Structure 1
Amino acid sequence: MNRVKKTAVAALLLTLGPVLPAWAQSDGYGAPPAQPGIEFELGGGANAAPRYEGSSEILLSPYPIVRLKRLALPNGFQIGGGREGGFSVSPSFAVRGERTARDTPALTGLANVDLAVEVGVEASYEAQWLRLHANLRRGFGGHHGWTGEAGIDAVVRPEEGLKLYAGPRISYADNGYMDTYFSVPAGTPGFATFDASAGIKSWGVEAGMRFDVSEGWAVEGMAGYHRLTGDAGASPVTAVGSRDQFHVRFGVLRKFRIDF
């Protein structure tokens, strides 16, 4: 198992560790299992982020929301559904736009990178004042590597239905991802040869909010800053853009419940 996969596994174990003994028998707070069924959220919104990782240009694009909140089976097995969150597992999606010299002339000489869709899983545990979370995704299209993020948030709820959070983040990627976005092949005109390796690729901080407007609808927003580090920060690709990465996101979602 390479270094980045060890990092991802450790992050997931950190998230799952506090709740594994109890999550199959209760809601994470000692209460009996709820009515068998599934609760999930679907929605979408707008995301303002660098055109590509390492870019200094901000691009506005759509983003999807697909989130599993609770799964309770008739045999008593349950994931999620705690009064203030508990343990949950949900799909994790990300879309990375194409990277071309047509859009960014400073990249002339580098190979274009097609749009990539990343699909994976996120695990999280939320208590009254704290949330731990980690995700891991596999790329399709522009890259075929693995990447993900882990973080810890302080959580406050100043009024009914409103949640505010903020905390540090760290992201990681394997050789396939790093090679696609940060390596420079020998002989590339205008760029020094560079071989990017797997490892931690950024650190930063995020802050956000969620407001449950009604039983069926909610809105959420987030703003964050990431600093590219390691080979991602040292790459000649980043040198023509910026190591400082800012992003803002806002979305609307619909909540669904289906009883078994």
Structure 2
Amino acid sequence: MFSLRVKFHVLAFSSLTVFGHAAFAGDLGFGGTDWQVGGVVFVAPKYEGAKDYEVRGAPFIAPAGLGETSRVQFRGPDDLRFRAIEFNGFEAGPLVGWRFDRDQSDAARLRGLGDVDGGLVAGGYAAYRAGPITPFVSYHHQLTGDDTGALIRFGAETKAPFGWGSVTATAGATYADDDYMDAYFSVTQAQSASSKAHLAAYDADAGIKDVFLGLTSDVPLSDVWTLKLSGRYSRLLGDAADSPIVESENQFFGGLGLSYRFSLGQ
């Protein structure tokens, strides 16, 4: 069952205040005048562990390019990367994004548990390009809204030519800390007592919460328009999979985006 809920969260900041000063953008090689603006619409579970899906959306604006050769790379709503360091195949930099909320009205199983507020995510990443394979690790911590802790993703990706251009395949796993597991998978005694679904109390510990496989591709439609395609499958594991909140351990994600490249001039 699908429901339509479009949330507008800015995934990048046009003023680049995340770095403190707009001039720093030129130092990082963003080009200073070329930008991309667009939007992303994606189908995702209503909440992590849900069996029902919904449509969400978000606009973005960022320095030109969101691909591998750009210093700005979009990996997901909570993973907009800024490549600040690049040396002999190694790269690293900060990232920003958004973690969506979870409403107790999203599913009958959640009623009585209360809402979990989303918010701004910040962190960093590092990767090493070793031939066709690029191992990576990234850190994502929520700064605003509820304190839902941090995630660490690690894995590898590879890029191959395919028809219109290229496709990037990614495989990896996600580690969640205690705060994240408590926010999204634990059920306290108080929540158990107020649960409309009579969920038992449950304490989820930190650990590997999922493994995932993903595909992304940019399809150039013209010199200025680019279609962005993405898909991902993840499988909840361990304490996350065993949580009474979870309806399905199999989680699917599909995204469709469109961006327009323009220049502000010198």
- Residues 212 and 123 of structure 1: CA distance in aligned 2, closer, same or farther (over 3 Å): farther
1:179-223 per-residue CA deviation (whole Å, 9 max, x = no partner) reads 111111125131222111111110121122123445554332111
CA distance in 1, matches of 2:261, 2:208: 34
Q: Alpha carbon RMSD of aligned pairs, Å?
A: 3.4
- Structure 1 residues 228-243: aligned runs within 5 Å: 228-238=236-246, 241-243=247-249
Structure 1 residue 81: deviation in Å? 9.9
Equivalent in 36, 50, 55 of residue 55 of structure 1: 50
Q: Secondary structure of 2:102's partner?
A: coil
- Residues 113 and 64 of structure 1: CA distance in aligned 2, closer, same or farther (over 3 Å): same
1:75-118 per-residue CA deviation (whole Å, 9 max, x = no partner) reads xxx73599xx9735352413313321x23122223122123332
CA distance in 1, matches of 2:28, 2:233: 40
Of all paired residues, the percent bearing the same amino acid is 27
In the alignment, what sits opposite 1:123?
A: 126
CA distance in 1, matches of 2:263, 2:92: 15
- Residues 250 and 36 of structure 1: CA distance in aligned 2, closer, same or farther (over 3 Å): closer
CA distance in 1, matches of 2:222, 2:129: 21
1:134-179 per-residue CA deviation (whole Å, 9 max, x = no partner) reads 32111121334111322312311246x7111223221111111111
CA distance in 2, matches of 1:54, 1:154: 28
Unaligned runs of 5+ in 2: 1-26, 73-83
Unaligned runs of 5+ in 1: 1-34, 72-77
Greater relative contact order (Cα < 8 A, sep 6+): 1
- Structure 1 residues 1-260: aligned runs within 5 Å: 37-39=29-31, 43-63=38-58, 65=60, 66=62, 69-70=70-71, 79-80=85-86, 87=91, 89=93, 91-100=95-104, 102-126=105-129, 129-139=132-142, 140-158=144-162, 162-187=165-190, 188-189=192-193, 190-214=198-222, 216-238=224-246, 241-254=247-260
Contact 1:123/1:135 (8 A) holds in 2 = yes
Q: Which 10-residue stretch deviates more, 142-151 or 49-58?
A: 142-151
So what's the TM-score if we normalise by structure 2? 0.67
So what's the TM-score if we normalise by structure 1? 0.69
- Residues 207 and 36 of structure 1: CA distance in aligned 2, closer, same or farther (over 3 Å): closer
Count of residues paired in the alignment? 214
CA distance in 2, matches of 1:134, 1:150: 4
- Residues 256 and 153 of structure 1: CA distance in aligned 2, closer, same or farther (over 3 Å): farther
- Residues 252 and 89 of structure 1: CA distance in aligned 2, closer, same or farther (over 3 Å): farther
- Residues 251 and 123 of structure 1: CA distance in aligned 2, closer, same or farther (over 3 Å): farther
CA distance in 1, matches of 2:145, 2:236: 23
Structure 1 residue 43: deviation in Å? 3.9
